A and B are shown apart, each in its own frame.
Chain A
Amino acid sequence: MKQVVWWALALGGLFVGGCSNDKGGTGNQGGSGNTAGSPGTSGKTLAGTWDLTTTPLEGDVVMTTVVLGQDSLAITSPDFNLTATRSGDTVTYTDEQTVNIPADDVLLTAKQSAGSFNAGIVPFDLGGSWMITIAPASGGSVMTCTLSVGASEIDGSCRKVTDDGFDFDFTTAKQTSAVSSFGDLGGTWLHTWTQNGSANTCALDFGDASIKTCPGTLAGGGSSATPVSGITFDFDGADTVSGTLQGWAEFSATRR
Chain B
Amino acid sequence: MPRRGAAAFVQCVALGCATHHAPPVPAGPFLAIEQRTAPLPASSAPNAAAVSLAFGALPPETLGRVHRHLAEATTRAVRRALPALFLDDEPAPSSYADVLPDIPALTAAANLLGSPWNAEGISVALVPRCAPNASTCIPLFAPEEPADALGRRARALAWAFGHAALLRAPGDARARLLEELRRAALRSSGTIALVFDADHGTLDDAELGGLEADARRALAHWPADAPGQAWLGALAAAPGAWRLPFALGPDELFVVPRLSALARLRDFDAELARAGNSERLGSAAR
Q: Which of A42-77 contact B (CB under 8 A)?
A: 51, 53, 55-63, 65, 76
Q: Which residues of B contact A246 (CB under 8 A)?
A: 95-96
Interface of A (DSSP majority class): loop
Contact of B230 with A243 in the complex, beta carbons under 8 Å: no
Contact of B156 with A251 in the complex, beta carbons under 8 Å: no
Q: Is B125 an interface residue (CB 8 A)?
A: no
Q: Which residues of A contact B45 (CB under 8 A)?
A: 56, 58-61
Q: Is B173 an interface residue (CB 8 A)?
A: no
Q: How far is the CA of A71 from the CA of B41 in the complex (A)?
A: 31
Contact of A58 with B260 in the complex, beta carbons under 8 Å: no
Contact of A250 with B159 in the complex, beta carbons under 8 Å: no
Q: Is B152 an interface residue (CB 8 A)?
A: yes
Q: Which residues of A contact B96 (CB under 8 A)?
A: 217, 219-220, 246, 248-249
Contact with B along A243-256 (1 / 0, CB 8 A): 11011111110101
Q: Which residues of B contact A53 (CB under 8 A)?
A: 156-157, 159, 259
Q: Shortest CB–CB separation between residue A232 and chain B, in angstroms? A: 7
Contact of B97 with A217 in the complex, beta carbons under 8 Å: yes
Q: Is A189 an interface residue (CB 8 A)?
A: no
B94 and chain A: residue at smallest CB distance: A222
Q: Is A117 an interface residue (CB 8 A)?
A: no
Knowing A56-B45, A63-B42, A65-B120, the reply to whether A243 touches B156 (Cβ < 8 A) is no
Contact of B46 with A220 in the complex, beta carbons under 8 Å: no
Q: Which residues of B contact A240 (CB under 8 A)?
A: 156, 262-263
Q: How far is the CA of A242 from the CA of B263 in the complex (A)?
A: 5
Q: Which residues of A contact B75 (CB under 8 A)?
A: none
B91 and chain A: residue at smallest CB distance: A223
Contact with A along B90-107 (1 / 0, CB 8 A): 001111111000011001
B230 and chain A: residue at smallest CB distance: A58
Q: How far is the CA of A52 from the CA of B229 in the complex (A)?
A: 22
Q: Shortest CB–CB separation between residue B258 and chain A, in angstroms? A: 6
Q: How far is the CA of A251 from the CA of B263 in the complex (A)?
A: 10
Q: Which residues of B contact A61 (CB under 8 A)?
A: 42-45, 110, 114
Contact of A248 with B95 in the complex, beta carbons under 8 Å: yes
Q: Which residues of A contact B209 (CB under 8 A)?
A: none
Q: Which residues of A contact B283 (CB under 8 A)?
A: none
- Option from A51, A58, A239, A247 in Cβ contact (under 8 Å) with B119: A51
Q: Which size class do A's interface residues fall under?
A: 35 or more
B261 and chain A: residue at smallest CB distance: A242
Contact with A along B223-262 (1 / 0, CB 8 A): 0000111110000000000000000000000000011111
Contact with A along B15-52 (1 / 0, CB 8 A): 00000000000000000000000000111111000000
Q: Which of A206-256 contact B (CB under 8 A)?
A: 216-217, 219-223, 225, 230, 232, 234-236, 239-244, 246-252, 254, 256
Contact of B107 with A250 in the complex, beta carbons under 8 Å: yes
Q: List 27 A-B contacts (CB under 8 A).
A: A53-B156, A53-B157, A53-B259, A56-B230, A57-B227, A57-B231, A58-B227, A59-B46, A59-B230, A61-B45, A61-B110, A61-B114, A65-B120, A220-B93, A220-B97, A221-B94, A222-B95, A236-B263, A236-B264, A240-B262, A242-B261, A242-B264, A243-B260, A247-B97, A249-B96, A251-B260, A252-B263
* B contact residues vs A (CB 8 Å cutoff): 41-46, 92-98, 103-104, 107, 110, 114, 118-120, 149, 152-153, 156-157, 159, 227-231, 258-265
- Chain A to chain B: the 7 pairs with minimum beta-carbon distance, closest first: A220-B95, A248-B97, A254-B156, A217-B95, A250-B260, A234-B263, A242-B263
